[in-house]
Amino acid sequence: MHTVILAGGGGTRLWPLSREQYPKQFIKLFDDSSLFQKTLERALIFSAPDEIYVVTNEKHKFMVLEQISEKEIEIPEENVLLEPLAKNTLPAIYFAVKTIAERNGDTKITVLPSDHLIIANEEYRKAFQRAEKLAESKLVTFGIKPTRPHTGYGYIKPGKKIDGGYEVDAFVEKPDFEKAKEYIEKGYLWNSGMFLFKSSIFIEECKKYQPELVKAFEINSLSEVYTKVPEVSIDYGIMEKTDKAAVVHFEASWSDVGSFDALYEVFEKDSNGNVAKGECILLDSSDNFILGERLIATVGIDNAIVVDTRDAILVCSRKDAQKVKNIVEILRSRGDNRAEIHKTVYRPWGSFTVLEEGEFYKIKKLTVLPKRRLSLQRHYHRSEHWVVVKGTAKVTVGDKEFFLRKGESTFIAAGEVHRLENPGLITLEIIEVQIGEYIGEDDIERFQDDFGRV
C-alpha cells in the first residue's frame, strides 16, 4: 500500500511558534519530534519507505528532506512532490495519486494529513485493515468517535451500514455547541481528514466531478498546472459529490492541533491544570498553556496561553485561541516578516539565527550540517567575520582554501567570492559578524550551489 502525506499546510493559528516558512507540522512539539515526523512513523505501519510520498510546498522542500533524514527513513527524494502554490487538499492529493499511478499502476493509497495528532493504537490498525477491504469499491474516509461536542471539527453523518463501516450520508461543517451535542446523540463522527482508496477509482471520480482539475494536470509545466488548477478541498470537490464515499469509524485519541487551546488539551496537565513547557514559575496560576525559550513567571493568571519566541510573545486567553490568526493577518497587512519567518531561518545546508542587528551590522549564528556547504557567493556591501565555535570549517576565499578549527577565525572582505563548508561529521557552528552599509539578505550573488539556488 502507498501512503501520501500532506505536508503543504501553512497554518498560522500557532503563531508565534509557527510562521509561514515554518508551519505547524514541522514544529518539534512532542519528544523532539514534529507532527510531520510522527506521521512518517505512522505511514511506515502500512507502507515501505519507497511507497511513501510527501506533498509539500516548494519552499518547505529542504525542511521535509531534513526531517525525513533525521528519522533515518529511506524515502527517495523523487517521492517528495513539490507544489509551487497551495491550492487546498484536492490538487495535492491528485498530484500524488497521479504520480504514484503513473509509476506503479493501480494501487491502494492512504492519505494522511501531517498536521494532526493521533495515536496509532490497535484500533487504528484495525480500522485501516477494514478500510483496505472497503477500498476495493469505495473512497474510504475515517471517522473518529467524538468524545465531546467539539465545535472546531467537521462531522460525518454515517448512512447505511456496510461491511467494515458505513456509507456516508453527509459531510457537515463545524457546528455550534448545541448542534454538536445533537450530532453526537445522532452518532455523527469527527471528520479526520484521512483517506484510503484505489488510485483508479479516485482518478475516475476526479474525471467525473473535477474535469477541470484533471485537465490542468495534463499540462507539462507544473507552475502552469498550479496556476490553472482550481483551489478545492477533497471533501468539497469529491467526497460530498461521489456516491462511492464510505466511512470507517474507530475510537482514537485524535486532535487537529488547530489552536493553542487544542494543543493545551493534548498535553498532560500538572495538579493546577497547567501545561508548562520550558522554564516556568507559576504562582496562583491554573489551567494555562505556557511555552517558551526564556524564563516565564506568572502570578494570578488563569486560562491563558503564553508563548514566547525570540522575536515575539503571545499572551492570549484560551477561549480566544482561534483569534491568533488575526494577529498574523495584522502583521501580514503591515508587511511585517514576523508573520513569515523566525529569527532562526532554515536553509538546505542548516540554519542561521540572527542574534543581534544594528543599523550597519548583523550578528548571526550559522549551523552547517555535516557534509553540507553554502553556495559559492559574493556580497557587495558587507564584509564578514567568521569565528568557529564548534566543529571544523572548510573556507574558500578567492582562490585560497583553508580549514578553520574551533576558536579560529577569518575575514571575508566585501566583493570577495567565498564559500563555507562543513567537511566534518559533526555540526559546524560559526558566529558571523556582518558589517556594511547595507546588510539585507538579498545582497548575495551565487556562483555555484548544491541546492539549485543559483
Residues in contact with its own copies by CB under 8 A are 16, 281, 283-284, 292, 294-301, 304, 306, 308, 310-317, 319-321, 323-324, 326-327, 330-331, 338, 355-356, 358, 360-361, 363, 365, 383, 385, 387, 389-390, 406-407, 409, 411, 429, 431, 433, 435
Q: Fill in the amino acid letter for 240.
A: E
Could you tell me the three cell numbers for 93? 492529493
Nearer to its own copies, 170 or 313 (CB): 313
Q: Which of 205, 261 has the CB closer to its own copies?
A: 261
Residue 361 pairs in a beta bridge with: 435
Q: What are the residues facing 345 on neighbouring strands? A: 352
Long-range contacts made by residues 404-410, C-beta under 8 angstroms, separation at least 24? 409/385, 410/385, 410/386
> Is 24 or 338 the residue whose CB approaches its own copies more closely?
338
Nearest CB to its own copies, comparing residues 49 and 292: 292
CB 123 within 8 A of CB 143: no
Q: In angstroms, what is the minimal distance from the CB of 82 to its own copies?
A: 32
**CB closer to its own copies, 161 vs 405:** 405
Judged by CB, which is closer to its own copies: 75, or 324?
324
Q: How far apart are CA 277 and CA 147, in angstroms?
A: 26
Residue 196: C-alpha distances to residues 83, 113, 136 (Å): 22, 12, 10
Q: Tell me the C-alpha distance between 253 and 100, whole Å.
A: 30
Looking at beta carbons only, is 116 or 364 nearer to its own copies? 364
Beta strands 80-83; 189-198: pairing state: unpaired
C-alpha cell at position 25? 507540522
- Give min distance, CB of 301 to its own copies, in A: 5
CB of 408 to its own copies, least distance (A): 9
Would you say 33 or 383 has its CB closer to its own copies? Answer: 383
Q: Measured from the CB of residue 345, what is the shortest distance to its own copies in angstroms?
A: 16
Cα→Cα distances 306→83, 248, 257, Å = 34, 38, 16
Question: Phi first, then psi: what are they for 139, rounded to 5°?
Answer: -95, 110
Pairing of strands 382-390, 409-412: antiparallel
Q: In the complex, what is the shortest distance from the CB of residue 328 to its own copies, in angstroms, rounded to a whole number? A: 9
Tell me the CA distances in angstroms from 293 to 67, 156, 258, 274, 290, one per residue in order.
22, 40, 22, 17, 10
Kindly state the smallest distance separating residue 412's Cβ from its own copies, in Å: 11
- In the complex, minimum distance from the CB of residue 354 to its own copies, in angstroms, rounded to a whole number: 10
Task: Give me 9's grid cell.
Answer: 499546510
